[in-house]
Amino acid sequence: MAEAQEQPRMLPYVAAITDGVRQVLSEQPDAFVAGEDVAGAGGVYGYYNGLLAEFGPERVYDTPISEAGIVGLGVGASATGCRPIIDLMFMDFLGECMDEVANQLAKMRYMFGGHATLPVTMLTMAGAGASLAAQHSQSLEAWLCHLPGLKVCMPATPYDAKGMIIAAARDDNPVIVVLNKMSLAMMGEVPEGPYEVPLAEANIIRPGTNFTIVAMGRMTHEALSAAEQLKDVGIDAEVIDPRTIQPLDMDTIVASVKKTHRIMVVHEAVRFGGIGGEIAAQIQEHAFDYLDAPVGRVGAPFSPVPFSPALEAVYVPNADRIAAEAKQLLGV
């Protein structure tokens, strides 16, 4: 009699984050979590729930309301032997601590000639869609990617969220894990125990033959839906999730362009100055002769994120818009 197959372990994105942080605290005695409301309240989105009871107040603790202080704590603690996980409640709050991020966290290892390591993992929440208005809904990953010394990743699935948190915490460089608030309820397979999702390794999540869509974070799911729509007009889209955007796996993207000859880049961030422009520039540098159409870009309008749910729904890119702009780009 055949043995029954074990069912995959399914978790929501939010629980996968908890699982990843728990694994880090379990395997690294010098790791701790610090941030606003991470201990008693379990974090504003609940992904630190239960960790205070499990690991105690010396490993999970609340900080004052000072983002500069939180990042400064991470810099100092990591330089003296700890491996902190610091929480920046909303990515929008980077403005409160950018000096610490840009001039200390990103540069200290370089300025000490490699003798100081800064194994800091920063978790932060980005993205619109929850009517949290202009100061709590931004996607500012391009700010961070412009800073030599930082690694920046954007896990799109529960599996990647856990695996990238573990990989970030094992890295001896500062890594910023940009999470997405509208993905928290998304279900996905998440194995028990430790595993890493390699940093700087893109994932081809849908193979295709005659069009490439590179999409980041939550936009990967919109891109997959758009790819299904595009089948009806003869477009077989390959969808690539870079996962880590600094450093960026351009080899996988360029290889796809050389196969499909047409490409579009999609991100939730404002289109102007976004990471899509960098990807487009590198494609023309490394694969220009293979292009049969201009490099397409889809992003948010050059505007603050609106509070109104109706306006916000128009502001954030979605599958219909991606498919429509792809058809216009390709003339179908």
Q: Which residues pair with 150 in a beta bridge?
A: none
Between the alpha carbon of residue 329 and those of residues 207, 265, 269, the distances in Å are 20, 12, 20
Task: Put the strands of the sheet holding 121-126 in their side by side order.
Answer: 60-62, 31-35, 83-88, 121-126, 175-180, 151-153, 244-246
Nearest to 190 by CA among 15, 27, 328, 307: 15
Active-site residues, by number, are 136
DSSP code for 248: B
Tokens of 174: 């500062």
Please say whether the beta carbons of 185 and 158 come within 8 A: no
Please say whether the beta carbons of 214 and 170 come within 8 A: no
Interatomic CA distance for residues 60 and 144, integer angstroms = 26
The gap from C-alpha 316 to its chain's centroid, in whole angstroms, comes to 17
DSSP code for 101: I
Between the alpha carbon of residue 328 and those of residues 220, 225, 233, the distances in Å are 20, 17, 12
Q: Three-state DSSP class for 122? A: strand
CB crowding 119-137: b at 16 or more within 10 Å, else e: bbbbbbbbbbbeebeeebb
* Direct distance between the N- and C-terminal alpha carbons of the chain, in angstroms, rounded to an integer: 53
